[in-house]
Amino acid sequence: MDNESDTPKVIGRLSLASLTWLRDRQIPARPVAYAVAFEYQAENTPELSRQVDEYESDGVLNDEAFEHIFREYVLAKFIDLGSFNKTVTELVNDTGAAVSEARLQLKDFKQFLQLAKEQLAKLGSDDVADLVRNLSNNTAQTYHAVNALESHLSTVMAEVRVLQKKYTQIQRQARQDQLTGLLNRNALQGEFNQMVEDEGVESITISVGDIDHFKQFNDNHGHTIGDKVIKLVADTLKSNLKGSDIISRYGGEEFVIILPNTHLNDGMKLMNSIREKIASLGFVNTATNKRIDGITMSFGLSQFESDDNFHSLFDRADKALYRSKQNGRNRVHCETKKALN
């Protein structure tokens, strides 16, 4: 049974609402902008809606903003990996058919040569000449079949290389946050699921972090500085984690870190250490020659239990983050039931 939200009537309503929304803001209904507007009207992705509202309130809902939102929240949802796999399958099947045809040609030629060998001793000179002509003709046919196969293989391999390059690019874009180069939220959940199945991982701690008062950076200095703050924080987080740790920009100014084989106590110590390093960050705004500092970050942590999934584990860490915010920000808290004294 089709999802009710996918009916022509609903799709038509959302399409009209999307076009009207773009028209009211005097935004051309280009494909990227329309895709973002449609998702915004559908209200299926709260983080996308929040990002659109922030850009609009700041007066910077432009082509660059739409491109960022599209890559972050829409692209992975609509990548047609099925078509890619189908195309590759068809190429492989075509190549297999060509190889099979050539193999049959060579088999027939081998049998022909064997028969010719047996007949040579019995035949006279005229018959030998006829046999040689037949050998020559068969050799030419086999030669053309092999040449055709080689040509076909060259064409197929060139197409496969192009597809592989495009697939790698799409796959990277689908998993990566454009601004920071970190994993995005979709890729993070996939990595988490693999980690849960990994027998070598005995414990998992998750940390949800949020840059304090981030909106003030955008309001006071503009989105360019806001982006620079996010990038600086992302680089600091990444440089202070070990290779097996997984970090993601979960959306906006929020980051999620998954710490395998790390207990909650150790996770708290690590995030406190990183928090202190972030609090010391700063840089000079080259446009105004003024120093930008006061960057702080709050964290909340939780530890994986056997009945957890990603969302339940995330929710507990998010609640701990909320307590960090309530208690003054620039702090680290863990889930209540595992609170450290």
Look at residues 310, 236, 300, 312 and name the one whose alpha carbon lies nearest to residue 268.
300
Active site residue 150: no
3: left (phi over 0), alpha (psi -120 to 50) or beta: beta
Q: Rounded to whole angstroms, how far apart are CA atoms 275 and 329?
A: 11
The span from the CA of 40 to the CA of 47, in Å, is 10
Q: Which long-range contacts (CB under 8 A, 24 or more apart) does 108-115 make?
A: 109/138, 109/139, 109/141, 109/142, 112/138
Q: How far apart are CA 341 and CA 335, in angstroms?
A: 12
Q: Which two tokens mark 198?
A: 């990994």
Q: Pick the catalytic residue: 39, 54, 72, 253?
A: 253
Contacts of 11 (CB under 8 A, 6+ apart): none
Taking alpha carbons only, the member of 94, 233, 93, 118 closest to residue 177 is 233
Neighbours of 122 (CB within 10 A): 7
Write out the catalytic residue numbers. Answer: 253
